[in-house]
Amino acid sequence: MSVTEGVVPAIRILVGRYEVGELIGRGGMSDVHVGTDNRLGRRVAIKLLKPSLAADPVFRTRFRREAQDAAKMAHPTIVRIFDAGEEMVTDATGAQVHQPFIIMEFVDGRLLKDIISAGPLDPAEATRIAAQVLVALEYSHRAGVVHRDIKPGNIMLTATGQVKVMDFGIARAVSDSSANLAETSSIVGTAQYFSPEQARGETVDARTDLYSTGIVLFEMLTGRAPFRGDNPVAIAYQHVNQAPVPPSSANPKVSPALDAVVLRSLAKDPFDRFQSAHEFRSDLELAAAGEVPQHSKSATNDFQATLFGVNPSATADSEATLRRLAVATEARAARTQNRPPVAWIWAGIVFMAVVIVAVIFWTLNLAPTRLTDAVAIEVPAVAGQSWEDGSALLTSLELTPQRFSEISNSVDEGDIIGTDPQPGTNVSPGQIIKVFVSSGKTPVAVPDVRNMLEATARAGIEARGLTPGSTTLDYSPSVAKDVVINTNPAAGSLLREGDTVDLIVSNGLVNVPSVVGMDAGPASAALNALQLQVKVITNGRCGGGKVDQQSLPPGDQQQKAEITIRVCAG
């Protein structure tokens, strides 16, 4: 790090609260900066969306609503949104424009797209990451939020391997605005990760996220996306019309079981895919264990086979379906079965009424609580407890706690952040409960602030999320006054966010020793080591070659001062 003395960069403050720091990422729709929430004193990530997006008032309205919905989600696998809004800024032409911004949880880690760029991942690691992405989607889908832009650029891995999915709700805000697709193609979904229904411009649901997750899993296993082309239109066409190849064709390490899971997730028809993130994750975990998931034809597909005389698989869009439904009544097959006698109809009605009354009577007289108690256990709230206490409580309830470490700036090390499933969920006895335990605050390396002015060094330490501590003045023959000599702990040492770093600063002085009585050579060497300007004169009135006088007294003296020593003649 280099700092120009005397130059103080302008500090940008958003809405009088958020201090915008250095740029840490750049995307098609935004720039991401590290920042500080001055009101709460915490480190955040600030996403500044392009002002051109806010030219559409519909976007601004939807953006605020979707950001509010996304901010309600709190889960270890989802990057939290703390705040969102817009600010008026001056563009290159001098005009005042709206600048939307998002204040997010700061995650110290790497984007999955950067990890994939180094080559295919080990299948075990790829399935682990995909499973955590599906945990995030399972949570968001229950909250009614569809991501719509799952891709490696929206997935981060922390230093401990925790997956964090970001940008929930933002894609919907953009795609639902009046901006055209050409302007927002980099935002509403990257073509390589489109679902077929997105490519056709149809209404999407949670199964779109599962298709995109399948694309990401394919890319992690092979190092490339299943569909590639010269332009987004060519890629979108392949999503709709071309079957994907098994990942094992590009990576022999991929098992047949994993092939089956990936290919099912990439089915063109949403009803042929996994119907929920939980179902996808369950099959993925089976495949990771080497077991090929078995699936019978779903009841949904059987129901779909004939709907009012229409086969949906034979109709590519809603217009074709309507045309099939509009066929004249005469063209349909004539009914061949005779209507049953009226007496039988009334007998059936009476019988059903008796059955209904009997069921109601039985339900009202059913012994309460014991039926539920026999088949389900409610997950207790253990957040804030120590791992030892929380795991003991879960074990006593016949549940199986499984520990996962996660960095947390708000929960003490060793205490529980949360569980999956969440508290209040009814589960079966023996169910594995994932317990997320705090591994402490974010690890931060002490920055190298040597040879900086003290004020500049303190600002650099604060920018890393550390706390500047005490200042100790010390002697230095070369470091100027008020400039940092060293830090304690030293640069590069790993601390936790908020830990203290003390400064050792030059006082601009050297401690001159007494060299009287020393031989001329050692005396000169000792003074030269202090970078003093040494001048030697000879005293012919004495002998022995020793120093008999020095011009500067021992003690504190200015750096690079002149000193004369008188040496007796040899």
Q: Which residues are identified as catalytic?
A: 149
- Residue 227, helix vs strand vs coil: coil
Strands 467-474 vs 426-427: parallel, antiparallel or unpaired: unpaired
Task: Give phi and psi for 566, each to the nearest 5.
Answer: -105, 130
Tokens standing for residue 546: 């020793």
Task: Give Cα 389 to chain centroid, integer Å.
Answer: 29
Length of the chain (residues): 570
Edge-to-edge strand order for the sheet containing 400-406?
400-406, 432-438, 416-420
- Residue 144, helix vs strand vs coil: coil
Q: Residue 386: name the closest of 352, 413, 349, 407 by CA.
A: 413
**Separation of alpha carbons 49 and 39, rounded Å:** 22
Q: Residue 10: name the closest of 19, 101, 453 by CA.
A: 19
Amino acid of residue 562: E
- Residue 376, helix vs strand vs coil: coil
Task: Give Cα 99 to chain centroid, integer Å.
Answer: 23
Diameter of the chain by CA atoms?
A: 147
Q: Which residue, chain included where needed, has tokens 């077991």? A: 291
Tokens standing for residue 496: 């936790």
Query: If you count DSSP H runs as helices and E runs as strands, how many of each does the chain have, helices first?
Result: 17, 24
Edge-to-edge strand order for the sheet containing 163-165?
109-111, 155-158, 163-165
Distances (CA, A) of 208 to 151, 236, 295, 362: 12, 14, 20, 43
The four Cα atoms 355, 361, 366, 372 give a dihedral, to 10 degrees, of 50
